[in-house]
Amino acid sequence: MELIAKATAVVGGTVALLRRMGAPAHQAFGASPQIPEAKKQGIMTLKMPVAHGWKGDHVPTCASGLKVNAFASGLDHPRWVEVLPNGDVLVAESKEEVGPPKTLMDHAAQATMRRVKAIGESANRVSLWRDADGDGVAEMREVFVEYQNQPFGMALIGTKFYLGNTDGISVFDYSPGATSLSGTGKKLVDFKPHGHWTRSLIVAPDETKIYAGVGSLSNIADDGMEVEEGRAAIWELDVVTGKARIFASGLRNAVGMAWEPTTGALWTVVNERDGLGDETPPDYLTSVQDGGFYGWPYCYWGKTVDDRVPQDAAMVAKAITPDYALGGHTASLGLCWMPEGTLPGFGDGMVIGQHGSWNRSKLSGYKLIFILFENGAPSGSARDILSGFLSEDEKLAYGRPVGVTVGADKKSLLMADDVGDIIWRVTGA
């Protein structure tokens, strides 16, 4: 407990100093980020607001020309959203289930995460929501599938529904318009559970493959690389042959994925390592090359070596520099491609759900942002779509953005908020 108290004191003093200095919330942002020199933290910074939720008519703050309403509410830690061809909306309700803490730092980290409901008993289900009258609010709720193992990513190909549980990908038979699945499903791929537990899925444009994000077990391969085998990667599953392989690696925790239509490239958002400072290294948005290696755990943002890790010069030499920095510890999780015309005033680009930091002295993230794309690449600065998820004194979290997708009407965004237990719907005002 003494260690926790010291960590809290360090954080409080640092936050006060930053406020007096007027330090910016983000430095490491954009295609050419200014990343501060790494500073190893003897005691890792732990800071998390208390989960508060939304009271009365309090809602997120919208960008000019937009409005927001609750499409669905009363969920149990909604994390990911999938829209079916008939307009039904699927929501993965789940959270991390942790084992007993092994160290004092584990105790401190788990206590910090519980403050914002990030860990605990998982609902382990996918719910289905239907807005039959088209008023932007779902009036029907059904249990689509339950008794899963921390479900997250979802994908539909024809009459086959694929679900990314923390321990692998399963497939179920699906009938168009059905409000629930029957049977236990068939396991297609096994993934190692624990650590970074989310398993997002995305279907290839030709519907022959599914890609899955599998995060690392630890921060920087703390228990060695052997236990990290098959992790910190994006996997490719051939749904025709059933064969699976690692598509790209060195991605500490790749979560949301999206296809960029001009180039046909796969893009992802990645949560980088902890313990080197508030802005070092930044989380990032990047295109993903087949066979590409992105640095973890040996280096970050290209070939910047992390000397806390036993080195492999050959791996560092082939590390690919990401495309766009998203700020340190923003916990950028959700990602979708948003075509021009979806929301007024926004062009073609990527929408990113920033879940928000828990291990930096001044909090970051806690918003839904947009990055314009031109000629298949990010262009310019990020713009807020939704903000106001965090109180000004950083003590309360009204909500935390996670998964995001374009609505069935192609004129809205749907975003999961796992503290507010709401699916928000954003449209033109």
**Digit-coded pLDDT (tens) for 387-402:** 999 999 999 999 999 9
Cis peptide before 281 (omega within 30 of 0): yes
Contact 278, 359 (CB under 8 A): no
- C-alpha 26/C-alpha 360 separation (Å) is 12
In angstroms, what CA-CA distances link 152 with 52, 55, 77, 96, 255?
Answer: 24, 27, 11, 11, 10
Question: What is residue 99's predicted lDDT score, i.e. its pLDDT?
Answer: 81
Q: With 60 as the cut, is the pLDDT of residue 71 above it?
A: yes
135-177 pLDDT, tens digit each: 999 999 999 999 999 999 999 999 999 999 999 999 999 999 9
Residues linked to residue 243 through DSSP beta bridges, in sequence order:
none
Q: Is the pLDDT of residue 23 over 80?
A: no
Does residue 12 have a pLDDT over 80? no
Structural domains of the chain sorted by starting position, each given as residue range(s) with its CATH number in brackets? 2-428 (2.120.10.30)
Predicted confidence (pLDDT) at residue 19 exceeds the cutoff of 80: no
In this prediction the pTM is 0.92
Query: What's the residue count for the chain?
Result: 429
What mean pLDDT comes out for the span 411-426?
Answer: 98
Asked if the model's pLDDT at residue 108 lies above 80, the reply is no
The enclosing H or E element of 61 equals strand 61-62
- List pLDDT tens digits, range 202-237: 999 999 999 999 999 999 999 999 999 999 999 999
Residue 198 has pLDDT above 50, yes or no: yes
pLDDT surpassing 60 at residue 245: yes
Strand partners, 422: 73, 417
